[in-house]
Structure 1
Amino acid sequence: MDRLRTAYQTMCKAMPGGWPAMAAALGFSKDGLENRVYERKGQAVSVHEAMQMQAFSGSSRFAEAVAAESGGVFVPLPDIDAVDDEEIQRVYMELVDEVGRLAREWREATRDGEVDKQERKRLEAIRDAICTKVTQMNHLTFQVFCKKGQ
Structure 2
Amino acid sequence: MGKVYKQPAWLVTAIKRTITELPGGYAEAAEWLGATENSLFNRLRSDGDQTFPFGWAMLLQRAGGSNHIADAVAFDSNGVFVKLPVIEQMGNEELLFKFNELLSALGRFARFHNESTSDGVLDSEETRRMKAKGYRVQALVAEIMVVTEMLFGEGDARECAAPGVLANKSRCMEK
TM-score under structure 1 normalisation? 0.77
CA shift, 1:128, in A, is 1.8
Aligned residue in 2 for 1:99 = 106
Aligned residue in 2 for 1:9 = 16
CA shift, 1:141, in A, is 0.5
Aligned residue in 2 for 1:63 = 70
- 8 Å contact from structure 1 (residues 102, 123) kept in 2: yes
What is the alpha-carbon distance in structure 1 between the residues aligned to residue 22 and residue 66 of structure 2? 9
Per-residue CA distance 1:2-45 (angstroms, 9 max, x = gap): 22222222222222322222112111122222232237874322
> Structure 2: which 5+ residue stretches go unaligned?
1-7, 158-171
Aligned partner letter, 2:140:
K
CA shift, 1:138, in A, is 0.6
Q: C-alpha root-mean-square deviation of aligned residues, in Å? A: 2.8
CA shift, 1:77, in A, is 3.2
What is the alpha-carbon distance in structure 2 between the residues aligned to residue 110 and residue 132 of structure 1? 23
Q: Does 1:45 align with 2:49?
A: no
Per-residue CA distance 1:42-97 (angstroms, 9 max, x = gap): 43222211111212222222222223333444343333414333432442344344
Equivalent residues, number: 150
- 8 Å contact from structure 2 (residues 11, 73) kept in 1: yes
What is the alpha-carbon distance in structure 2 between the residues aligned to residue 127 and residue 41 of structure 1? 33
Q: Which moved more, 1:100-109 or 1:124-133?
A: 100-109
TM-score under structure 2 normalisation? 0.68
Per-residue CA distance 1:82-131 (angstroms, 9 max, x = gap): 43334324423443444344444433432332223454344323312211
